[in-house]
Chains A and B, each alone.
Chain A
Amino acid sequence: MLLNGFTSLLSLEMILLMFGGVIVGIIFGAIPGLSATMAIVLFLPITFNMGTTQAFALLVALYIGGVSGGLISAILINIPGSAMSIATCYDGHPMANSGHAQRALGIGVFFSFLGTVISLAIMMVAAPALASIAVKMSSFEIFSMTFCAIALVTGVGSKDVLKALAAAFFGIAFCLIGMAPVDGATRYIFGSNKLLSGIPLTSAVVGMFAVTEILKTVGKKISANKLEQRHREKIKGFGFSFKEFVGQIKNLIVSAAVGLGIGFLPGMGGSLANQVAYIAVQKTSKHPEKFGTGIMDGIVASETSNNASIGGAMIPLLALGIPGDGPTAMLLSAFTIHGIVAGPLLFKTSGPLVYTVFAAMIVCSIIMLIVEFFGIPVFAKVIDVPRQILFPVVLVICVVAAFSNNKIMFDCWMLLFFGIMGVVLGKFNFPRTPMILGLVLGQNLETNLRRALQLSRGSFAPFFTRPVSCILLCLGLFFIISAIVRQFVDLAKGKKIKENEA
């Protein structure tokens, strides 16, 4: 059936369509503020008049290109295309800054491809079985999982756990603005109806990275001497040796597993996967102290995991009709528009289409690899653009992207607000990552907590009597408590806490 799927894609028209889709997806992914979801939303109406195969080939191309494209801006200008690529900044940008932009891009591109392919292979083999696990995950388990993930990033991944915890709760606090989940009660809108739908996430993420980065650069006048061209590196292939690749296999497996696992849980996806994978790889590394200085492992972790979340998110979509993230929610709409019911019967009623989608995802991954491989020298030229030209242009594009989300100026002001917040919090050595994670996952956390408490009629007991939930909650608590204890022991010993991280 998979072979039939490939056969249905074998026409010049289809290949061109997927090439176009991947390129547009990469552009959307690379521009801070635009995303794979937005690309799919915009192209969804165009697919109305297309055949089912063409429509899904295009949408899948946009999805895969969009997720992968985020690495370009993260590596080159330290501004992630979306929350899915935040962890790519940690090592990708330092590597690019040290004159190895092409190598950083090459690593990112290749491991994005591997992440996608691994997750697709697992999806094809085990979608129904994995989906049955996903359906057994109730609000208790999803809450505990989200809590555990936040605890992992704040407790294990931060040097100053107290500030990281404060940052995570601070991020969650922003999710309290607007209408509450479940009952829609209005909270903390301070008289502004524009806050009813909550904080615009795009403006928050882009503001905290883009505006902060610009203000960091503007602090000192750029010298005329610095405007000379940087040393141009020439890389072979993707910029790393076979030996280096072999050394990354463990990281590849860990990151792909994290991406796949988190991707198939509703409401999480690549935004969380890249952070958790980064921490997981760092903590299992022989040289954790080198993370953040521009090492290959960090890029591998982030890019493998965010792309692996694609296959993960597709599992509940195809097998259960439940979208795992924003782009899959749009794909679910596409299924409905084309008269297909995603869910347990999909493999029986529309088997050929499902395998065509699988085939399209594999072909699009290969197209993504080709396009980005040949694009590396072109993308890398961005780093040669003088900063006094690059940053104002980037900010204007960020403002336009923020505006285009809801087409109101309020979102642009939010961008500025979060930019100022990023700068001020930076002065307090307040870590950005846990805050953004809290902001991304806060609503998911509250929704599942309230649903769980409704099911248990206000009792917390099921969180501890259900084995998976209990293990995850205990793990989360362990991460936080052990980190706090470690910190206070260090303080008592007089060790100075290393300030700030990412």
Chain B
Amino acid sequence: MKKIDSVIAGIIRGFHIYNDTILGAILFIGSLILFIQSFSISIMKNPVSSLDTARFFPQLVFGALMPIGILLLIRGIIRAKDQKSSAPEGEKLETGVVAFKRSVIALAAIAIFLLLMEPLGFIPAAILYMLFNMFYMCERAAWKPWLFVIVAVVVAVGAYFIFRQFIYVRLPAGILKGVLG
């Protein structure tokens, strides 16, 4: 297994074994920080009562999340041993590693699509995104390049003009600004 794969495998196993522990810790620490931060929220000079401020509700919410976080943390510690015995291993773990990497790539593709949407324009960015995903999601034997290209172009151009004409939404034109008007 490559180094990156073993790191991902560690993350997957860690998530499985210490699921509640990690979640509880994140919830507790995050809530504690935001609870403390709530004291810096500016409030009205003359509230009707001391509870009638913009601080009260956040303190209530984060105040409730903190004990929930602690309970999850405790439960996680109790259950860690059981979880260890059922943690994925072997082929299941390898499949998990592959799925993890593929998901990260798919997420990166969405992020790149959004990044390109303004400078490049919606139509080219959407076509590139769709084409990448269509090829990426299936096995080579299932590739249908012409169909993929036609669908990507029709959807991108169609969505642009439908939203512009009927919903009055002008999606970023980017490099096609001169052509699309």
Q: Are B72 and A396 in contact (CB under 8 A)?
A: no
Q: Are B107 and A388 in contact (CB under 8 A)?
A: no
**Which residues on the B side are within 8 Å of A246 (C-beta)?**
none
Q: Are B129 and A396 in contact (CB under 8 A)?
A: yes
Q: How far is it, in angstroms, between the C-alpha of A423 and the C-alpha of B111 when the chains are bound?
A: 15
**Cβ-defined partner of B15 (8 Å) among A163, A427, A450:** A427
Q: How far is the CB of B34 from chain A (nearest CB, A)?
A: 7
Q: Is A358 an interface position by the 8 A CB rule?
A: no
Task: Scan A386-401; emit 1 where CB is below 8 A from any B CB, else 0.
Answer: 1111011101110110
Q: Is A148 an interface position by the 8 A CB rule?
A: no
Task: Scan A197-235; emit 1 where CB is below 8 A from any B CB, else 0.
Answer: 000000000000001001101111111100100000000
**Which residues on the A side are within 8 Å of B170 (C-beta)?**
407
Q: Is B9 an interface position by the 8 A CB rule?
A: no
Q: Are B103 and A215 in contact (CB under 8 A)?
A: yes
**Which residues on the A side are within 8 Å of B71 (C-beta)?**
162
Q: Answer whether A218 and B168 are a contact pair too, CB < 8 Å, given A165-B68, A409-B118.
A: no
**Which residues on the B side are within 8 Å of A42 (C-beta)?**
166-168
Q: Are A446 and B57 in contact (CB under 8 A)?
A: yes
Q: How far is it, in angstroms, between the C-alpha of A181 and the C-alpha of B68 when the chains are bound?
A: 26
Task: Scan B143-156; emit 1 where CB is below 8 A from any A CB, else 0.
Answer: 00001100110011
Q: Which residue in chain A gives the minimum CB-CB distance to B100?
A: A219
Q: Are A219 and B102 in contact (CB under 8 A)?
A: yes
Q: Are A387 and B61 in contact (CB under 8 A)?
A: no
Q: How far is it, in angstroms, between the C-alpha of A409 and the C-alpha of B171 when the chains are bound?
A: 10
Q: How far is it, in angstroms, between the C-alpha of A306 and the C-alpha of B99 when the chains are bound?
A: 36
**Which residues on the A side are within 8 Å of B141 (C-beta)?**
224
Q: Are A176 and B72 in contact (CB under 8 A)?
A: no
Q: How far is the CB of B156 from chain A (nearest CB, A)?
A: 7
Q: How far is it, in angstroms, between the C-alpha of A371 and the C-alpha of B47 when the chains are bound?
A: 54
8 Å CB contacts to A: which residues of B101-138? 102-103, 105-107, 110-111, 113-114, 117-118, 122, 126, 129-130, 133-134, 136-138
8 Å CB contacts to B: which residues of A175-199? 176, 180, 182-183, 185-188
Q: Is B176 an interface position by the 8 A CB rule?
A: no
Q: Is B29 an interface position by the 8 A CB rule?
A: no
- Chain B residues bordering chain A, tally (CB within 8 A): 75
Overall SS of chain A's interface: helix
Q: Is B36 an interface position by the 8 A CB rule?
A: no
Q: Is B175 an interface position by the 8 A CB rule?
A: no
Q: Are A173 and B68 in contact (CB under 8 A)?
A: no
Inter-chain contact total with CB atoms closer than 8 Å: 195
Q: Are B54 and A211 in contact (CB under 8 A)?
A: no
Binds B, one of A92-100, A348-356, A411-419: A411-419
**Cβ-defined partner of A396 (8 Å) among B22, B58, B98, B126:** B126
Q: Is A475 an interface position by the 8 A CB rule?
A: no
Q: Are B72 and A389 in contact (CB under 8 A)?
A: no
**Which residues on the B side are within 8 Å of A493 (C-beta)?**
none
Q: Is A420 an interface position by the 8 A CB rule?
A: yes
Q: Is B64 an interface position by the 8 A CB rule?
A: yes
Q: Is A170 an interface position by the 8 A CB rule?
A: yes
Q: How far is the CB of A464 from chain B (nearest CB, A)?
A: 16
8 Å CB contacts to B: which residues of A403-431? 403-404, 407, 409, 412-413, 416, 419-420, 423, 427-430
**Which residues on the B side are within 8 Å of A227 (C-beta)?**
138, 142
Q: Are B114 and A412 in contact (CB under 8 A)?
A: yes
Q: Answer whether A176 and B19 are a contact pair too, CB < 8 Å, given A392-B129, A423-B103.
A: no
Most buried by A among B102, B122, B142: B142
Q: Is A454 an interface position by the 8 A CB rule?
A: yes
Q: Are A176 and B37 in contact (CB under 8 A)?
A: no
Name the 4 nearest CB pairs between A and B, nearest first: A458-B49, A219-B99, A185-B54, A180-B54
Chain B interface residues (CB < 8 Å from chain A): 15, 19, 22-23, 27, 34, 37-38, 41-44, 48-54, 56-58, 61-62, 64-65, 68-69, 71-72, 75, 78, 82, 95, 98-100, 102-103, 105-107, 110-111, 113-114, 117-118, 122, 126, 129-130, 133-134, 136-139, 141-142, 147-148, 151-152, 155-156, 159, 163, 166-172
Q: List 29 A-B contacts (CB under 8 A).
A: A169-B61, A169-B68, A185-B53, A186-B41, A187-B38, A217-B137, A218-B137, A219-B100, A219-B103, A220-B99, A221-B137, A222-B137, A387-B137, A388-B134, A389-B148, A396-B130, A399-B114, A400-B163, A403-B169, A407-B170, A413-B114, A416-B111, A420-B107, A428-B19, A449-B57, A450-B56, A453-B56, A458-B52, A459-B49
